[in-house]
């Protein structure tokens, strides 16, 4: 059969309704454990025969369908689903790191990812270095003999700076280092890091993959099956598994990912254009440069901007909004706004936030699916 386009894969990949009594929607296997026909089958299953499901922390049909579909969307060999985006982040790092190792990170990270890296350093001596990753020489200057992982966000949260993934993958490959990319801001529809040479891609599936603000989940996709096998014991023994019902919600969310992402991007482009010409706005960050066109389908649904003044002025704008909700997270149907310095990145020390480019007067906007004119009207009245 010919290779299917992304829009078709989002709806059909990995599922055959005729194998499930004609059910158009994938069934929800809402069970914690499974029965064996015989004691011998149970013995073989625990020995790794794979002939039967054992326990939903180890495998579940609904979760596995979500994993197979997500792996195909990212162009990977295998995927593992997790109970949250941070469960995915922590498992991906723990799979490749031991005490005394070193991680090179993009110069800008989600606050909880930064917090987990701090935890790794304090408990296990796993150090990390922030790097702007603009050149091969710059990346290599940050490497150490004990560097095992390069961890990248692109676009970076919340500054929207882009990292050249092909450059990072090439440089890491020269030194036998694994590359892990947080692709949450793009979803597989806008960006596919594995096809650019990276080893592992992960998502907070809570965001665009779910798309409706009603599920907490994460997923890791690996370019090679052998890499995914390294994550299996971490998920099994740490226990950050996705529930069957969450997987069912995510499969439903994936069906509309393409149309939702197109609308998110269209709205974000219009909002960014409005903000750039507003006298109260100092700067707008939204991916529209040559690199964005090279490795992303479109610019995404998130942007950041600074208002004239400081924290008080930024918070005053937030407090005057009527349609746009003050909330963390992103990728929902609703437009959300938050103040990174005191919310998502509050755990990051002020001097490190400054180095990352996170300012006191910066706001991050996740542009939703409402009419763009209504979103803009709300921003306009809030900044009067």
Domain CATH for 302? 3.90.1150.10
Same domain flag for 264 and 203: no
DSSP code for 270: H
pLDDT at residue 75 in the model: 97
Same domain flag for 378 and 263: yes
Would 241 be classed as within a structural domain?
yes
Average pLDDT for 89-110: 97
The kind and range of the H/E element at 139 are helix 136-142
Would 178 be classed as within a structural domain?
yes
**Which of 218, 236, 255 is the endpoint of a domain?**
255
Same domain flag for 275 and 241: no
Annotation says 235 is catalytic: no
Q: Tell me which of 53, 107, 148, 182 is the catalytic residue.
A: 182
**Alpha carbon distance 157, 330 (integer Å):** 11
Would 212 be classed as within a structural domain?
yes
User: Do residues 264 and 185 make contact, with C-beta atoms less than 8 angstroms apart?
Assistant: no
Same domain flag for 245 and 270: no
pLDDT at residue 50 in the model: 87
Would 54 be classed as within a structural domain?
yes
Average pLDDT for 215-233: 97
Annotation says 308 is catalytic: no
Same domain flag for 223 and 289: no
**Alpha carbon distance 193, 60 (integer Å):** 27
Same domain flag for 227 and 324: no
Annotation says 207 is catalytic: yes
Q: Tell me which of 69, 148, 207, 223 is the catalytic residue.
A: 207
Provide the number of structural domains found in the chain: 2
* pLDDT band (50, 70, 90) for residue 1: very low
Pairs from 276-284 (Cβ < 8 Å, separation ≥ 24): 278/379, 278/380, 278/383, 280/307, 280/308, 280/317, 280/383, 281/305, 281/306, 281/307, 281/308, 281/383, 282/306, 282/307, 282/308, 282/361
Same domain flag for 171 and 294: no
Q: What digits encode the pLDDT tens for the residues 198-218?
A: 999 999 999 999 999 999 999
Same domain flag for 101 and 228: yes
Same domain flag for 222 and 101: yes
Would 358 be classed as within a structural domain?
yes
User: Do residues 96 and 178 make contact, with C-beta atoms less than 8 angstroms apart?
Assistant: yes
Same domain flag for 14 and 142: yes
Q: Tell me which of 44, 57, 255, 320 is the catalytic residue.
A: 57
Coil vs helix vs strand at 89: helix
CATH code assigned at 96: 3.40.640.10
Annotation says 182 is catalytic: yes
Would 349 be classed as within a structural domain?
yes
Q: Tell me which of 110, 114, 189, 208 is the catalytic residue.
A: 110
* 274 pLDDT higher than 60: yes
**Which of 255, 285, 300 is the endpoint of a domain?**
255
Of the listed ranges 16-20, 72-76, 172-176, 194-198, the one predicted with least confidence: 16-20
pLDDT at residue 123 in the model: 97
* 2 pLDDT higher than 90: no
Would 1 be classed as within a structural domain?
no
* 53 pLDDT higher than 80: yes
**Alpha carbon distance 98, 194 (integer Å):** 24
Q: What digits encode the pLDDT tens for the residues 159-170?
A: 999 999 999 999
Same domain flag for 247 and 264: no
CA 142 to chain centre: 24
Q: What is the mean pLDDT of the chain?
A: 96
336-338 and 325-326 strand pairing:
parallel
Q: What digits encode the pLDDT tens for the residues 335-371?
A: 999 999 999 999 999 999 999 999 999 999 999 999 9
Domain range for 312 is 258-382
Same domain flag for 79 and 197: yes
pLDDT at residue 4 in the model: 82
State percent of the chain over pLDDT 70: 99
**Which of 255, 288, 303 is the endpoint of a domain?**
255
């Amino acid at each position: 059969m010919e290779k299917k386009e992304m829009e078709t894969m989002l709806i059909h990949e990995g599922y055959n309704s005729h194998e499930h009594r004609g059910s158009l929607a994938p069934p929800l296997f809402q069970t914690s454990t499974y029965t064996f026909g015989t004691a011998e089958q149970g013995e073989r299953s625990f020995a790794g025969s794979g002939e039967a499901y054992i326990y939903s922390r180890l495998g579940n049909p609904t979760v596995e369908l979500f994993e197979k579909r997500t792996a195909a969307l990212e162009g990977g060999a295998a995927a593992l689903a997790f109970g949250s985006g941070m469960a995915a982040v922590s498992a991906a790092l723990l799979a490749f790191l031991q005490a005394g190792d070193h991680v090179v990170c993009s110069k800008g990270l989600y606050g909880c990812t930064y917090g987990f890296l701090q935890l790794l350093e304090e408990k296990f001596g796993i150090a990390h270095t922030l790097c702007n990753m603009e050149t091969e020489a710059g990346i290599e200057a940050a490497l150490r003999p004990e560097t095992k992982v390069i961890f990248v966000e692109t676009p970076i949260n919340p500054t929207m700076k882009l990292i050249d993934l092909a450059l990072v993958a090439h440089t890491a490959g020269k030194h036998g280092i694994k590359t892990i990319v947080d692709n949450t801001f793009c979803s597989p529809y806008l960006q596919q890091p594995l096809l650019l040479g990276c080893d592992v891609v992960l998502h907070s599936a809570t965001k665009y993959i779910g798309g409706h603000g009603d599920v907490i989940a994460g997923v890791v996709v690996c370019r090679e099956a052998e890499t995914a096998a390294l994550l299996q014991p971490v998920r099994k023994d740490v226990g950050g598994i996705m529930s069957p019902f969450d997987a069912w919600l995510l499969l439903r969310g994936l069906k509309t990912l393409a149309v939702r992402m197109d609308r998110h991007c269209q709205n974000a482009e219009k909002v960014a254009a409005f903000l750039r010409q507003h006298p109260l706005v100092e700067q707008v960050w939204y991916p529209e440069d040559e690199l964005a066109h090279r490795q992303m389908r479109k610019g995404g649904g998130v942007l950041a901007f600074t208002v004239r003044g400081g924290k008080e002025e930024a918070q005053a704008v937030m407090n005057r909004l009527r349609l746009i909700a003050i909330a963390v997270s992103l990728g929902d149907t609703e437009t959300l706004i938050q103040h990174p310095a005191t919310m998502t990145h509050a755990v990051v020390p002020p001097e490190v936030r400054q180095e990352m480019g996170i300012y006191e007067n910066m706001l991050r906007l996740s542009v939703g699916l409402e009419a763009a004119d209504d979103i803009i009207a709300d921003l306009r009245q809030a900044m009067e």
